[in-house]
Protein backbone atom coordinates (compact mmCIF):
# COMPACT_ATOMS: atom_id res chain seq x y z
CA UNK A 1 0.00 0.00 0.00
CA UNK A 2 1.32 3.46 -0.90
CA UNK A 3 1.75 5.79 2.05
CA UNK A 4 -0.14 9.06 1.70
CA UNK A 5 0.97 12.14 3.63
CA UNK A 6 -1.42 13.08 6.45
CA UNK A 7 -2.59 16.70 6.48
CA UNK A 8 -0.91 18.94 9.03
CA UNK A 9 -3.97 20.86 10.22
CA UNK A 10 -6.88 19.27 12.09
CA UNK A 11 -10.42 20.48 12.81
CA UNK A 12 -10.57 21.93 16.31
CA UNK A 13 -13.90 20.18 16.80
CA UNK A 14 -14.33 16.84 14.97
CA UNK A 15 -18.07 16.60 15.70
CA UNK A 16 -19.90 16.62 12.37
CA UNK A 17 -22.82 14.40 13.42
CA UNK A 18 -26.20 15.18 11.86
CA UNK A 19 -27.95 14.73 15.18
CA UNK A 20 -27.44 15.27 17.97
CA UNK A 21 -25.30 17.98 16.45
CA UNK A 22 -22.27 19.92 17.66
CA UNK A 23 -22.79 22.20 20.65
CA UNK A 24 -22.52 25.92 20.02
CA UNK A 25 -18.99 27.37 20.13
CA UNK A 26 -17.84 28.11 23.66
CA UNK A 27 -20.30 25.70 25.26
CA UNK A 28 -19.52 24.52 28.78
CA UNK A 29 -21.55 22.48 31.26
CA UNK A 30 -21.10 25.34 33.71
CA UNK A 31 -23.51 27.33 31.53
CA UNK A 32 -26.33 25.12 32.79
CA UNK A 33 -25.92 25.92 36.47
CA UNK A 34 -29.07 28.06 36.48
CA UNK A 35 -31.31 25.14 35.44
CA UNK A 36 -34.16 24.71 38.00
CA UNK A 37 -33.40 21.04 38.67
CA UNK A 38 -35.64 19.29 41.14
CA UNK A 39 -38.35 21.90 40.58
CA UNK A 40 -41.71 21.39 38.97
CA UNK A 41 -42.01 22.61 35.41
CA UNK A 42 -45.39 23.95 36.52
CA UNK A 43 -43.75 26.18 39.13
CA UNK A 44 -43.25 29.81 38.18
CA UNK A 45 -39.55 29.33 37.51
CA UNK A 46 -40.14 26.37 35.19
CA UNK A 47 -42.96 28.02 33.27
CA UNK A 48 -40.94 31.19 32.86
CA UNK A 49 -38.01 29.26 31.38
CA UNK A 50 -40.31 27.45 28.94
CA UNK A 51 -42.09 30.68 28.01
CA UNK A 52 -38.75 32.37 27.40
CA UNK A 53 -37.71 29.53 25.09
CA UNK A 54 -40.98 29.90 23.17
CA UNK A 55 -40.86 33.69 22.88
CA UNK A 56 -37.20 33.82 21.91
CA UNK A 57 -37.69 31.11 19.28
CA UNK A 58 -40.57 33.11 17.82
CA UNK A 59 -38.48 36.27 17.65
CA UNK A 60 -35.25 34.75 16.31
CA UNK A 61 -37.06 32.87 13.53
CA UNK A 62 -38.93 36.03 12.54
CA UNK A 63 -42.34 34.38 12.75
CA UNK A 64 -45.51 36.34 11.98
CA UNK A 65 -47.07 37.75 15.13
CA UNK A 66 -50.09 35.43 14.98
CA UNK A 67 -48.08 32.21 14.67
CA UNK A 68 -47.90 30.05 17.79
CA UNK A 69 -44.88 28.12 19.10
CA UNK A 70 -45.17 25.14 21.43
CA UNK A 71 -42.65 22.80 23.06
CA UNK A 72 -43.81 19.19 22.79
CA UNK A 73 -42.49 15.70 23.59
CA UNK A 74 -40.40 13.31 21.48
CA UNK A 75 -38.25 15.60 19.37
CA UNK A 76 -39.20 16.54 15.81
CA UNK A 77 -40.77 13.10 15.36
CA UNK A 78 -43.23 13.75 18.17
CA UNK A 79 -44.08 17.20 16.88
CA UNK A 80 -44.71 16.02 13.33
CA UNK A 81 -46.70 12.96 14.42
CA UNK A 82 -48.81 15.24 16.63
CA UNK A 83 -49.61 17.43 13.64
CA UNK A 84 -50.44 14.49 11.39
CA UNK A 85 -52.69 12.74 13.88
CA UNK A 86 -54.64 15.87 14.82
CA UNK A 87 -55.02 17.61 11.45
CA UNK A 88 -54.90 15.10 8.59
CA UNK A 89 -58.06 13.49 7.27
CA UNK A 90 -60.09 16.65 6.79
CA UNK A 91 -58.97 16.93 3.15
CA UNK A 92 -57.18 14.77 0.61
CA UNK A 93 -53.46 14.76 1.30
CA UNK A 94 -50.34 14.57 -0.85
CA UNK A 95 -47.44 12.89 0.94
CA UNK A 96 -44.01 13.74 -0.44
CA UNK A 97 -40.86 11.78 0.39
CA UNK A 98 -37.32 11.73 -0.92
CA UNK A 99 -35.47 10.41 2.12
CA UNK A 100 -35.91 8.24 5.22
CA UNK A 101 -37.91 10.51 7.49
CA UNK A 102 -40.31 11.61 4.77
CA UNK A 103 -40.81 7.94 3.94
CA UNK A 104 -41.70 7.39 7.59
CA UNK A 105 -44.44 10.01 7.41
CA UNK A 106 -45.84 8.25 4.34
CA UNK A 107 -45.97 4.96 6.24
CA UNK A 108 -47.79 6.58 9.15
CA UNK A 109 -50.32 8.30 6.88
CA UNK A 110 -51.16 5.16 4.92
CA UNK A 111 -50.69 2.29 7.36
CA UNK A 112 -51.46 3.90 10.72
CA UNK A 113 -54.03 6.57 9.84
CA UNK A 114 -55.43 4.72 6.81
CA UNK A 115 -55.58 7.85 4.66
CA UNK A 116 -56.28 7.68 0.94
CA UNK A 117 -53.17 9.66 0.15
CA UNK A 118 -51.42 10.61 -3.06
CA UNK A 119 -47.83 9.44 -2.64
CA UNK A 120 -44.99 11.20 -4.41
CA UNK A 121 -41.52 9.82 -3.91
CA UNK A 122 -38.08 10.24 -5.42
CA UNK A 123 -34.79 8.43 -5.10
CA UNK A 124 -32.05 9.75 -2.83
CA UNK A 125 -30.53 12.79 -4.51
CA UNK A 126 -33.74 13.74 -6.34
CA UNK A 127 -37.00 15.58 -5.68
CA UNK A 128 -40.47 14.46 -6.77
CA UNK A 129 -42.70 16.71 -8.85
CA UNK A 130 -43.82 19.68 -6.78
CA UNK A 131 -46.96 20.71 -8.68
CA UNK A 132 -49.49 19.96 -5.94
CA UNK A 133 -53.23 20.62 -6.06
CA UNK A 134 -53.85 23.60 -3.70
CA UNK A 135 -57.02 21.91 -2.48
CA UNK A 136 -55.01 19.13 -0.85
CA UNK A 137 -53.03 19.06 2.37
CA UNK A 138 -49.31 18.63 1.76
CA UNK A 139 -46.78 16.80 3.98
CA UNK A 140 -43.11 17.26 3.15
CA UNK A 141 -39.65 17.80 4.57
CA UNK A 142 -37.99 21.11 3.77
CA UNK A 143 -34.52 19.61 3.98
CA UNK A 144 -33.90 15.89 3.72
CA UNK A 145 -31.51 15.19 6.57
CA UNK A 146 -30.60 11.74 5.24
CA UNK A 147 -30.42 12.66 1.55
CA UNK A 148 -28.94 16.15 1.56
CA UNK A 149 -31.72 17.35 -0.76
CA UNK A 150 -33.93 20.33 0.01
CA UNK A 151 -36.74 22.10 -1.79
CA UNK A 152 -35.24 25.07 -3.66
CA UNK A 153 -38.02 27.44 -2.58
CA UNK A 154 -41.72 27.53 -1.75
CA UNK A 155 -42.96 29.00 -5.03
CA UNK A 156 -44.79 25.72 -5.71
CA UNK A 157 -47.07 26.27 -2.70
CA UNK A 158 -50.13 28.34 -3.62
CA UNK A 159 -50.81 31.53 -1.69
CA UNK A 160 -54.56 30.90 -1.98
CA UNK A 161 -54.36 27.20 -1.05
CA UNK A 162 -57.28 25.56 0.70
CA UNK A 163 -55.24 22.74 2.18
CA UNK A 164 -52.60 22.96 4.90
CA UNK A 165 -48.87 22.56 4.46
CA UNK A 166 -47.20 20.39 7.10
CA UNK A 167 -43.44 20.92 6.91
CA UNK A 168 -40.79 18.92 8.74
CA UNK A 169 -38.04 21.54 8.97
CA UNK A 170 -35.87 19.98 11.64
CA UNK A 171 -32.57 20.44 9.77
CA UNK A 172 -33.62 23.73 8.15
CA UNK A 173 -34.88 26.03 10.91
CA UNK A 174 -32.22 28.58 11.93
CA UNK A 175 -29.99 27.68 8.96
CA UNK A 176 -32.21 28.41 5.95
CA UNK A 177 -34.67 31.11 4.97
CA UNK A 178 -38.16 29.86 5.70
CA UNK A 179 -41.16 31.46 3.92
CA UNK A 180 -43.52 31.34 6.87
CA UNK A 181 -46.52 32.60 4.91
CA UNK A 182 -46.38 29.34 2.94
CA UNK A 183 -46.07 27.06 6.00
CA UNK A 184 -49.08 26.23 8.18
CA UNK A 185 -47.46 23.63 10.42
CA UNK A 186 -43.69 23.55 10.93
CA UNK A 187 -41.75 21.26 13.23
CA UNK A 188 -38.13 20.99 14.32
CA UNK A 189 -35.96 19.76 17.15
CA UNK A 190 -33.45 22.05 18.78
CA UNK A 191 -30.85 19.25 18.77
CA UNK A 192 -30.18 20.00 15.09
CA UNK A 193 -29.13 23.48 13.96
CA UNK A 194 -28.69 24.90 17.47
CA UNK A 195 -27.07 21.77 18.91
CA UNK A 196 -29.43 21.46 21.89
CA UNK A 197 -29.91 18.27 23.84
CA UNK A 198 -32.49 15.81 22.48
CA UNK A 199 -35.99 14.65 23.52
CA UNK A 200 -37.99 17.83 22.82
CA UNK A 201 -39.77 19.01 19.70
CA UNK A 202 -41.03 22.40 18.63
CA UNK A 203 -44.40 22.85 16.91
CA UNK A 204 -45.19 26.06 15.00
CA UNK A 205 -48.80 26.72 13.96
CA UNK A 206 -50.26 29.32 11.62
CA UNK A 207 -53.78 30.69 12.21
CA UNK A 208 -55.00 28.35 9.45
CA UNK A 209 -53.62 25.38 11.35
CA UNK A 210 -55.32 26.52 14.55
CA UNK A 211 -58.59 26.87 12.65
CA UNK A 212 -58.24 23.29 11.42
CA UNK A 213 -57.61 22.03 14.95
CA UNK A 214 -60.68 23.82 16.31
CA UNK A 215 -63.03 22.83 13.47
CA UNK A 216 -62.03 19.24 12.75
CA UNK A 217 -62.19 16.09 14.85
CA UNK A 218 -60.26 13.07 13.52
CA UNK A 219 -62.10 9.77 13.26
CA UNK A 220 -59.38 7.94 15.19
CA UNK A 221 -58.74 8.13 18.94
CA UNK A 222 -55.92 10.45 19.99
CA UNK A 223 -53.41 9.51 22.67
CA UNK A 224 -53.20 12.09 25.43
CA UNK A 225 -49.72 13.10 24.33
CA UNK A 226 -51.09 14.21 20.91
CA UNK A 227 -54.08 16.26 22.08
CA UNK A 228 -53.87 19.94 21.19
CA UNK A 229 -57.50 20.90 21.81
CA UNK A 230 -60.05 20.59 24.59
CA UNK A 231 -63.73 21.23 24.08
CA UNK A 232 -63.07 22.28 20.50
CA UNK A 233 -60.58 24.98 21.49
CA UNK A 234 -56.81 25.10 21.27
CA UNK A 235 -55.08 24.32 24.56
CA UNK A 236 -53.34 27.67 24.82
CA UNK A 237 -51.18 26.58 27.73
CA UNK A 238 -49.04 24.42 25.43
CA UNK A 239 -47.97 27.61 23.68
CA UNK A 240 -47.42 29.52 26.90
CA UNK A 241 -45.02 27.12 28.61
CA UNK A 242 -47.38 24.49 30.06
CA UNK A 243 -46.09 21.44 28.23
CA UNK A 244 -48.14 18.27 27.76
CA UNK A 245 -45.74 16.10 29.72
CA UNK A 246 -42.76 16.73 31.97
CA UNK A 247 -39.88 18.35 30.08
CA UNK A 248 -36.23 18.20 31.05
CA UNK A 249 -35.44 21.58 32.54
CA UNK A 250 -31.77 20.79 31.97
CA UNK A 251 -32.45 20.48 28.24
CA UNK A 252 -34.52 23.65 28.30
CA UNK A 253 -31.66 25.51 29.99
CA UNK A 254 -29.27 24.17 27.37
CA UNK A 255 -31.55 25.46 24.62
CA UNK A 256 -31.74 28.87 26.26
CA UNK A 257 -27.95 29.06 26.27
CA UNK A 258 -27.88 28.05 22.61
CA UNK A 259 -30.32 30.88 21.95
CA UNK A 260 -28.00 33.28 23.80
CA UNK A 261 -25.27 32.38 21.32
CA UNK A 262 -27.60 32.39 18.29
CA UNK A 263 -29.11 35.77 19.10
CA UNK A 264 -25.64 37.27 19.10
CA UNK A 265 -25.33 36.30 15.44
CA UNK A 266 -28.91 36.87 14.36
CA UNK A 267 -30.74 34.68 11.88
CA UNK A 268 -28.75 36.00 8.93
CA UNK A 269 -25.50 35.21 10.74
CA UNK A 270 -26.62 31.67 11.49
CA UNK A 271 -27.56 31.11 7.86
CA UNK A 272 -24.26 32.56 6.67
CA UNK A 273 -22.28 30.11 8.80
CA UNK A 274 -24.10 27.11 7.32
CA UNK A 275 -23.72 28.49 3.81
CA UNK A 276 -19.98 28.98 4.32
CA UNK A 277 -19.45 25.47 5.67
CA UNK A 278 -21.43 23.85 2.88
CA UNK A 279 -19.51 25.96 0.37
CA UNK A 280 -16.22 24.45 1.53
CA UNK A 281 -17.58 20.95 0.82
CA UNK A 282 -19.06 21.90 -2.54
CA UNK A 283 -15.84 23.54 -3.71
CA UNK A 284 -13.89 20.46 -2.65
CA UNK A 285 -16.18 18.15 -4.64
CA UNK A 286 -16.12 20.40 -7.71
CA UNK A 287 -12.34 20.07 -7.94
CA UNK A 288 -12.24 16.26 -7.61
CA UNK A 289 -13.60 13.61 -9.94
CA UNK A 290 -13.90 10.83 -7.36
CA UNK A 291 -16.43 12.44 -5.00
CA UNK A 292 -19.71 14.26 -5.65
CA UNK A 293 -22.74 15.74 -3.95
CA UNK A 294 -25.61 13.25 -3.68
CA UNK A 295 -28.06 15.99 -4.66
CA UNK A 296 -28.34 15.86 -8.44
CA UNK A 297 -29.41 19.49 -8.90
CA UNK A 298 -27.19 22.19 -7.33
CA UNK A 299 -30.33 24.22 -6.56
CA UNK A 300 -31.52 21.46 -4.22
CA UNK A 301 -28.29 20.90 -2.28
CA UNK A 302 -28.63 21.04 1.48
CA UNK A 303 -26.48 23.51 3.37
CA UNK A 304 -26.76 21.57 6.63
CA UNK A 305 -26.76 17.81 6.02
CA UNK A 306 -24.36 17.65 3.09
CA UNK A 307 -24.43 14.13 1.65
CA UNK A 308 -21.63 12.88 -0.60
CA UNK A 309 -20.98 9.82 -2.74
CA UNK A 310 -17.79 8.27 -4.07
CA UNK A 311 -17.89 8.03 -7.86
CA UNK A 312 -14.92 5.71 -8.50
CA UNK A 313 -15.98 2.47 -10.15
CA UNK A 314 -14.89 -0.82 -8.65
CA UNK A 315 -14.60 0.29 -5.02
CA UNK A 316 -15.63 -2.22 -2.32
CA UNK A 317 -19.22 -1.97 -1.11
CA UNK A 318 -18.10 -0.92 2.35
CA UNK A 319 -15.60 1.65 1.06
CA UNK A 320 -17.44 4.68 2.44
CA UNK A 321 -17.68 3.07 5.87
CA UNK A 322 -13.95 2.36 5.78
CA UNK A 323 -13.24 6.02 5.03
CA UNK A 324 -15.53 7.17 7.85
CA UNK A 325 -13.91 4.75 10.31
CA UNK A 326 -10.42 5.88 9.34
CA UNK A 327 -11.35 9.52 9.88
CA UNK A 328 -12.88 8.68 13.26
CA UNK A 329 -9.78 6.71 14.26
CA UNK A 330 -7.70 9.80 13.52
CA UNK A 331 -10.05 11.91 15.64
CA UNK A 332 -10.77 14.37 12.83
CA UNK A 333 -14.39 13.49 11.97
CA UNK A 334 -16.93 11.69 14.12
CA UNK A 335 -20.20 10.16 12.92
CA UNK A 336 -20.03 11.13 9.24
CA UNK A 337 -21.03 7.84 7.60
CA UNK A 338 -24.23 8.15 5.59
CA UNK A 339 -27.55 7.28 7.23
CA UNK A 340 -28.24 3.56 7.42
CA UNK A 341 -31.03 3.65 4.81
CA UNK A 342 -29.23 6.02 2.46
CA UNK A 343 -26.80 5.13 -0.36
CA UNK A 344 -23.22 4.51 0.83
CA UNK A 345 -21.27 7.71 1.27
CA UNK A 346 -20.47 10.46 3.76
CA UNK A 347 -22.77 12.91 5.51
CA UNK A 348 -21.15 16.06 6.89
CA UNK A 349 -23.21 18.27 9.16
CA UNK A 350 -22.66 21.92 8.29
CA UNK A 351 -25.27 23.46 10.56
CA UNK A 352 -24.76 26.80 12.25
CA UNK A 353 -22.98 25.53 15.36
CA UNK A 354 -20.19 24.03 13.23
CA UNK A 355 -17.22 26.32 12.58
CA UNK A 356 -16.70 26.78 8.82
CA UNK A 357 -12.95 26.64 9.46
CA UNK A 358 -13.36 23.12 10.86
CA UNK A 359 -15.17 22.01 7.71
CA UNK A 360 -12.39 23.51 5.60
CA UNK A 361 -9.78 21.67 7.69
CA UNK A 362 -11.64 18.38 7.25
CA UNK A 363 -11.52 18.38 3.46
CA UNK A 364 -7.81 17.42 3.09
CA UNK A 365 -8.40 14.61 5.58
CA UNK A 366 -11.19 13.22 3.44
CA UNK A 367 -8.79 13.18 0.50
CA UNK A 368 -6.14 11.48 2.63
CA UNK A 369 -8.60 8.82 3.86
CA UNK A 370 -9.90 8.24 0.34
CA UNK A 371 -6.41 7.82 -1.13
CA UNK A 372 -5.33 5.59 1.73
CA UNK A 373 -8.34 3.30 1.54
CA UNK A 374 -8.28 3.22 -2.24
CA UNK A 375 -4.64 2.14 -2.22
CA UNK A 376 -5.51 -0.59 0.28
CA UNK A 377 -8.42 -1.76 -1.88
CA UNK A 378 -6.23 -1.90 -5.00
CA UNK A 379 -3.49 -3.77 -3.14
CA UNK A 380 -6.02 -6.33 -1.94
Domains defined along the chain, listed by start: 36-254 (3.40.640.10), 267-379 (3.90.1150.10)
Residues making up the chain, counted from first to last: 380
pLDDT digits (tens, 9 = 90+) for 232-252: 999 999 999 999 989 999 999
Cα distances (Å, whole numbers) of residue 91 to 128, 142, 165, 216: 21, 21, 12, 10
Phi-psi region of 101 (alpha: psi -120 to 50; beta: other; left: phi over 0): alpha
Query: Contact 138/117 with Cβ under 8 angstroms?
Result: no
pLDDT band at 1 (very low <50, low <70, confident <90, very high): very low
pLDDT computed for residue 2 by the predictor: 52
List, in sequence order, every residue forming a beta bridge with 349; answer none if it has no partner. 305
State the DSSP code for 251: H
pLDDT computed for residue 4 by the predictor: 80
Query: Contact 245/73 with Cβ under 8 angstroms?
Result: yes
Q: Which helix (H) or strand (E) holds 145?
A: none
Beta strands in 79-238 (DSSP E): 93-97, 118-121, 137-141, 143-144, 149-150, 165-168, 185-189, 200-205, 229-230, 233-234
- 156 closest CA partner among 138, 168, 172, 174: 138
Q: Is 50 exceeded by the pLDDT of residue 151?
A: yes
Query: Contact 366/290 with Cβ under 8 angstroms?
Result: no
pLDDT digits (tens, 9 = 90+) for 61-102: 999 999 999 999 999 999 999 999 999 999 999 999 999 999
Amino acid sequence: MTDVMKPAARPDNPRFSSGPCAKHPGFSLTELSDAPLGRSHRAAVGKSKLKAAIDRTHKLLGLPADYRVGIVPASDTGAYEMAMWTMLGARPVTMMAWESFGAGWVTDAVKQLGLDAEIRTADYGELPALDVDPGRDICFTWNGTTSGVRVPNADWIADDREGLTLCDATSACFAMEMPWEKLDVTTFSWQKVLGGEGAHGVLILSPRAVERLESYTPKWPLPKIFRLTKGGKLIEGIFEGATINTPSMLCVEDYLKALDWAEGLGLSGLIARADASAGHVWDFCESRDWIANLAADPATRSTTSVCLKFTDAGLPGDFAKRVAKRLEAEGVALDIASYRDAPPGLRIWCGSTVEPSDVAALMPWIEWAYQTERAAAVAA
